């Protein structure tokens, strides 16, 4: 297996972006269970994110969602983040929470609604200029519920038109990440349902249009690591929205439902040369019943554990077994790495970096949870959809 020192050196470079919305209240369509002490403003979300980074050393940036994180002065918010030891990351657009979007946003049959959606996307690029963000994440809830409701190909044309306008507005160092999702909220067609559709739009746009893989956005049984391998091979894997799912888009803690899948994905990332800053490792999760900050810390640790196991894979031995057609031998190389307990190695890495080996216990001892419950009283609680 790969030497632990090499694994530790690689892990020390890994950055996992946390989403602002994971710090706030969220729920299902049945109920949002409000928690005490959750952030009331984008600044308070950043204060919580700073705790996650302080304790893990691996979560230096925070993704914003507009308008959930709307502020008057984005440059000032970026400075506030910097003073906390953070940076503002991906800007997530939101063209799904407005009555005008009942029939879609950029694919809507009415040009007025399409213009409104496009204006929002362009505004997000303005925000990126102010925050210094590299990536714009685009997820469209667009689709139809009934056969015949709208013209599938016309909707693709409208989508391409909007994407082109946004792409042309991007700065030289900025990228567009196009996210796909196979269904929900649309139930018959979704306009960007899969990686093939996202990839074909990105191909036409240019190299700064990249596909983002949200691990909760596939039909059950989909081989996500295969998609990862193909996108990397094509130079079009822009990043991940990590989360876990048992049924649909459950947005549970990454690595909680299927840590083996996460390992297989990271194995393809590493093998495909994707362990680079160009492939963004982001969380996209909602913590409905569990306390938010420790859940996010746990998620960061789960990504680190899967990565450590994937880094441990003896690629030389794997290649020898594969070339020899040694089916069982090749599989054993992978399973040996997966079955290694990497927690001591990660504890050691944290100690090397002056961190507590157990971030969750350190968080409990820190008193932050009690402090925010005492301090953050009153006001509107900012969360999913706030």
Least Cα distance to 306 among 282, 274, 270 occurs for: 270
Site for ligand PSV contains 225 (CB under 6 A): no
Torsion of CA 233, 235, 236, 239, to 10 degrees: 90
Contacts 24+ apart (CB under 8 A), 375-381: 375/37, 376/36, 376/37, 376/38, 376/39, 376/40, 376/44, 379/40, 380/40, 381/24, 381/25, 381/34, 381/38, 381/39, 381/40
CB of residue 268 vs ligand PSV: minimum separation in angstroms?
Answer: 21
- For ligand PSV, the binding residues in 239-258 under the rule CB under 6 A are 241, 249
Least Cα distance to 12 among 375, 367, 370, 354 occurs for: 354
C-alpha Rg value of the chain to the nearest Å: 21
Site for ligand PSV contains 92 (CB under 6 A): yes
CB-based closest residue to ligand PSV: 139
- For ligand PSV, the binding residues in 296-355 under the rule CB under 6 A are none
Which one of residues 69, 135, 150, 241 is an interface residue with Mn ion (CB under 5 A)? 241
Burial class (CB within 10 angstroms; exposed 0-12, middle 13-18, buried 19+) of 283 = buried
Give which of ligand PSV, Mn ion, none residue 92 binds (C-beta under 5 to 8 Å, depending on kind): ligand PSV
Least Cα distance to 253 among 225, 279, 291 occurs for: 291
Least Cα distance to 93 among 129, 109, 69 occurs for: 69
Q: For residues 77 and 213, which CB has a smaller minimum distance to ligand PSV in the complex?
A: 213
Q: For residues 255 and 271, which CB has a smaller minimum distance to Mn ion in the complex?
A: 255
| Partners of residue 244 on adjacent β-strands | 252
- For ligand PSV, the binding residues in 170-199 under the rule CB under 6 A are 179, 181
CB of residue 250 vs Mn ion: minimum separation in angstroms?
Answer: 9
Site for ligand PSV contains 69 (CB under 6 A): no
Q: For residues 44 and 284, which CB has a smaller minimum distance to Mn ion in the complex?
A: 284
Distance CA 144, CA 164 (A): 22
- For ligand PSV, the binding residues in 100-159 under the rule CB under 6 A are 139
Question: H-type helices in the chain, by residue range?
Answer: 4-11, 42-56, 74-83, 111-131, 152-169, 195-205, 224-233, 259-271, 292-312, 315-323, 327-338, 343-352, 359-366, 368-375
Give which of Mn ion, ligand PSV, none residue 21 binds (C-beta under 5 to 8 Å, depending on kind): ligand PSV
Site for Mn ion contains 284 (CB under 5 A): yes
- For Mn ion, the binding residues in 88-117 under the rule CB under 5 A are none
Q: For residues 3 and 289, which CB has a smaller minimum distance to ligand PSV in the complex?
A: 289
Give which of ligand PSV, Mn ion, none residue 191 binds (C-beta under 5 to 8 Å, depending on kind): none
CB of residue 141 vs ligand PSV: minimum separation in angstroms?
Answer: 7
CB of residue 156 vs ligand PSV: minimum separation in angstroms?
Answer: 20
Site for ligand PSV contains 214 (CB under 6 A): yes
Which one of residues 54, 69, 284, 305 is an interface residue with ligand PSV (CB under 6 A)? 284
The token pair at 166 is: 């946004």
How many other β-carbons are positioned within 10 Å of the β-carbon of residue 225? 20
CB of residue 31 vs ligand PSV: minimum separation in angstroms?
Answer: 17
Give which of ligand PSV, Mn ion, none residue 131 binds (C-beta under 5 to 8 Å, depending on kind): none
> What DSSP state is assigned to residue 337?
H
Distance CA 40, CA 381 (A): 4
| Partners of residue 241 on adjacent β-strands | 214, 282
> What DSSP state is assigned to residue 247?
S
Distance CA 254, CA 55 (A): 18
Q: For residues 101 and 139, which CB has a smaller minimum distance to ligand PSV in the complex?
A: 139
CB of residue 240 vs ligand PSV: minimum separation in angstroms?
Answer: 11
Give which of ligand PSV, Mn ion, none residue 69 binds (C-beta under 5 to 8 Å, depending on kind): none
Using CB under 6 A as the criterion, which residues of the chain lie in contact with ligand PSV when the complex forms?
21, 92, 139, 179, 181, 214, 241, 249, 284
Q: Which residues bind Mn ion (CB under 5 A)?
A: 214, 241, 249, 284
């Amino acid at each position: 297996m790969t030497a632990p020192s090499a694994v530790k050196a690689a892990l020390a470079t890994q950055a996992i972006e946390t989403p602002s919305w994971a710090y706030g209240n969220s729920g299902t369509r049945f109920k949002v269970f409000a928690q005490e002490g959750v952030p009331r403003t984008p600044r308070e979300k950043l204060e919580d994110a700073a705790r996650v980074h302080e304790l893990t050393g691996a979560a230096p940036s925070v993704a914003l969602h507009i308008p959930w994180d709307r502020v008057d002065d984005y440059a000032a918010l970026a400075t506030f983040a910097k003073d906390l030891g953070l940076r503002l990351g991906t800007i997530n657009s939101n063209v799904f929470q407005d009555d005008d979007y009942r029939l879609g946003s950029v694919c809507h049959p009415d040009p007025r609604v399409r213009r409104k959606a496009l204006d929002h996307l362009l505004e997000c690029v303005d925000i990126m200029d102010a925050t210094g963000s590299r990536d714009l994440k685009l997820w469209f809830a667009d689709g139809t519920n009934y056969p015949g409701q709208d013209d599938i190909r016309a909707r693709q044309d409208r989508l391409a038109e909007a994407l082109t306008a946004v792409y042309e507005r991007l700065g030289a160092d900025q990228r567009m990440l196009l996210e796909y999702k196979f269904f929900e909220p649309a139930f018959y067609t979704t306009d960007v349902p899969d990686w093939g559709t996202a990839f074909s739009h990105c191909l036409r746009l240019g190299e700064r249009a990249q596909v983002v893989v949200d691990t909760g956005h596939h039909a059950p049984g989909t081989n996500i690591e295969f998609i990862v391998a193909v996108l990397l091979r094509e130079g079009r894997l822009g990043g991940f929205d990590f989360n876990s799912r048992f049924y649909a888009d459950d947005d549970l803690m990454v690595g909680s439902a299927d840590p083996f899948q996460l390992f297989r994905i990271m194995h393809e990332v590493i093998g495909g040369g994707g362990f680079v800053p160009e492939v963004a490792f982001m969380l996209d999760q909602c913590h409905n019943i569990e306390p938010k900050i420790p859940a996010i810390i746990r998620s960061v640790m789960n990504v680190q554990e899967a990565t450590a196991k994937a880094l441990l894979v003896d690629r030389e031995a794997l290649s020898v077994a594969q070339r020899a057609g040694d089916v069982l031998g090749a599989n054993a190389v992978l399973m040996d790495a997966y079955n290694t307990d990497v927690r001591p190695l990660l504890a050691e890495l944290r100690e090397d970096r002056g961190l507590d080996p157990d971030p969750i216990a350190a968080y409990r001892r820190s008193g932050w949870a009690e402090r925010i419950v005492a301090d953050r009283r009153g006001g509107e609680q900012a969360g999913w959809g706030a």
